[in-house]
Amino acid sequence: MAVLATYNVKGGVGKTATVVNLAHRAAVAGRGDGGRTLVFDLDPQGAASYYFRAPPKVRRRGTSLVRGKVDVLEAITPTDFPGIDLIPSDFSFRNLDVVLDGAKDPGRSLARVVQPLTKRYGHIFLDCPPSISRLSENVFGAADALLVPIIPTTLSLRALDQLDTFLSRRAAEKGLRSPLVLPFFSMVDRRKRLHRELIEDLCRAHPDILRAAVPSATSVERMGAHQGPVAAFDRRSPAVGAYADLWDEVLARLSADSSASARAVSRAQA
């Protein structure tokens, strides 16, 4: 089991699309072994909640959830998609940074909320807003791995470097273990020479970038109209195969990463 967060300080790079499609893939793959998948929408924009058709009558638990004031189990709702549960976002999440800042242990609040859920779910996905903030620190504390979508532009590397610097500083200053960072290319258009060249250059400079890449695909853009993951309405889209490959590679990296395994073991023993 793993807690996976999509993260990038940059907005509009495909974080939410990744959570929705990978959660669906994980749920389909996990159906045989009974493991359910949970998506925790931490973004006040609520895009993941929209894609998963969060029922309007769900009682919103807002920031009291992250403060540990309500039972997290009460905030979970099933979705229309077999095997996928959701903790929907609500607009009060725009104040998450302030709430977390005032917490007793400001970097660990989210981990404390997510921790008990790890025994119930095969995989947990956190969908994060684009920022580097107190919420991000909490996400780094709660996640086993960060899935970092990068669009092939020269500036993308900067965001990845910023993340590496932040995590190294956090580890050095606070002695906190870093999540596994899994960058991958998103919205790739292989017809563009610039994209092909940049991918080649960036992969050479950063061998840790995953091989699986998500193409720019109209089916992903149509997720809003269909309110669901691509595989639910366009099985033949190239995006479906790309997310499946991405999921396989993420699982392989997680099982090869000793620190991620160690985190899972220490959780199981807790």
Ligand X SMILES: Nc1ncnc2c1ncn2[C@@H]1O[C@H](COP(=O)(O)OP(=O)(O)OP(=O)(O)O)[C@@H](O)[C@H]1O
What is the rounded distance in angstroms from the CA atom of residue 17 to the CA atom of residue 6? 10
45-84 mask for Mg ion (x: CB under 5 A)?
Answer: --x-------------------------------------
Closest C-alpha among 4, 12, 10, 5 to residue 187: 12
Q: What angle do CA 143, 145, 146 make, to 5 degrees?
A: 95
Among 16, 37, 109, 118, binds ligand X (CB under 6 A): 16
For Mg ion, give the closer residue by CB, 16 or 79. Answer: 16
For Mg ion, give the closer residue by CB, 7 or 185. Answer: 7
Residue 191: CB atoms within 10 A of its CB come to: 8
The burial class, CB within 10 Å (0-12 / 13-18 / 19+), for 207 is exposed
Number of residues in contact with Mg ion under rule CB under 5 A: 3
Cβ-Cβ contacts under 8 Å for 116 (sequence gap 6 or more): 72
One-letter identity of residue 69: K
Cβ-Cβ contacts under 8 Å for 106 (sequence gap 6 or more): 100, 134, 137, 138
Cβ-Cβ contacts under 8 Å for 168 (sequence gap 6 or more): 178
Residue 214 within binding range of ligand X, rule CB under 6 A: yes
**Rounded to the nearest whole angstrom, what is the least distance from the CB of residue 177 to ligand X in the complex?**
25
Residue 221 within binding range of ligand X, rule CB under 6 A: yes
**Which window, 16-24, 167-175, 224-232, 255-263, contacts Mg ion (CB under 5 A)?**
16-24
For ligand X, give the closer residue by CB, 11 or 82. Answer: 11
Residue 16 within binding range of Mg ion, rule CB under 5 A: yes
Residue 216 within binding range of ligand X, rule CB under 6 A: yes
C-beta separation of 253 from 210 below 8 A: yes
Among 3, 10, 15, 182, binds Mg ion (CB under 5 A): 15
What is the rounded distance in angstroms from the CA atom of residue 205 to the CA atom of residue 7? 20
Among 44, 106, 130, 238, binds ligand X (CB under 6 A): 130
For ligand X, give the closer residue by CB, 67 or 222. Answer: 222
Q: Which of residues 148-207 bind ligand X (CB under 6 A)?
A: 186-187
- The residues of the shown chain that bind ligand X, judged by CB under 6 A, are 11-17, 43, 45, 47, 129-130, 186-187, 214, 216-217, 220-221, 223, 239
Residues found near Mg ion in the complex (CB under 5 A) = 15-16, 47
